[in-house]
Amino acid sequence: MAKLYFNYSSMNAGKSTVLLQASYNYEERGMNTLLLIAAFDDRAGKGRIASRIGLAADADVFSAADDLFDHVVADRKNREIHAVLVDEAQFLTEEQVWQLARVADELRIPVMCFGLRTDFQGKLFPGSSALLAISDNLKEIKAVCWCGRKATMVARLDVDGNIVDEGDQVVIGGNETYISLCRRHWSEKNLGGQD
C-alpha cells in the first residue's frame, strides 16, 4: 500500500539532501520519480531542487492553483511513476495535500513530502498543517541549534542579522535570511553565546 509521508524539520536539517538521495535510490533501480517544488522557490533556479552539499536535480514546479493529482495523472501518460517527491511542501495548499493523498490512495504511488513545520513566528504553514493532520507517516529530520540541542524553530533575520518577528509568512531565503534554533533560544531571540 502506498503512503503519504511528511518529513519535516527546521532549516538546514538536510531535507532536500534526503529527498534527492531517495530519488537517486529509485532511479538507481530503474524506477522513475516525479520531483515537485514550489514555482516561486527559485533559489537554485526555476524548477530545480538543490541541497547545501551540492546535490541537485530538475523538478516540475507547482503553484497554488495547480491540481497535483491531475499533474501526476498527466505525467503518467508519458512514463511510469514509482514515487512522487515534493520539496518545500510547506508551500502546498490544504487542497493540494488532499490531492497528493489521492495519489497515494487511488494511484498507489508513494508520495514523500519534505518541508518546514513552522514559520519564523512559530506558526504552522497551511501545507504543513494539512500534512501533519493526514499523512500516514511523519518523520522529523533533526537540525541542531548553536547550543547543541535539537533545533525545532526558525528565526528570520533582517539585513543587519537581527531577529525579526513581523512580516509576510513567506520570504524565500537561505542562511542569510534564516537560522534554526532550539525553542528556548528562539523564544529568547538568542543567536549564540548569550546563555
User: How does pLDDT run across 38-78, given as a tens digit for each residue?
Assistant: 887 666 557 677 777 777 778 889 999 999 999 999 999 99
Q: Which of 28, 80, 88, 106 does the annotation list as catalytic?
A: 88
Which secondary-structure segment (H or E) carries 151?
strand 150-151
Tens-digit pLDDT profile for residues 89-130: 999 999 999 999 999 999 999 999 999 998 888 889 999 999
Note whether residue 158 is domain-resident. Answer: no
* Residue 88 is among the residues annotated as catalytic for this protein: yes
Pairing of strands 4-9, 111-116: parallel
**Do the beta carbons of residue 154 and residue 116 sit within 8 Å?**
yes
Phi-psi region of 177 (alpha: psi -120 to 50; beta: other; left: phi over 0): alpha
Q: How many residues does the chain have?
A: 195
Please give the grid coordinates belonging to residue 139.
518523520
Find the CATH number of the domain harbouring 112: 3.40.50.300
Read off the pLDDT of residues 145-181 as tens digits, 9 standing for 90 and up.
999 999 988 888 888 887 788 776 666 555 567 788 9
- Residue 173 belongs to a domain: no
Residue 127 lies in a domain: yes
CA 16 to chain centre: 7
What is the count of structural domains for the chain?
Answer: 1
For residues 5 and 137, what is the distance between their CA atoms, to the nearest angstrom? 5
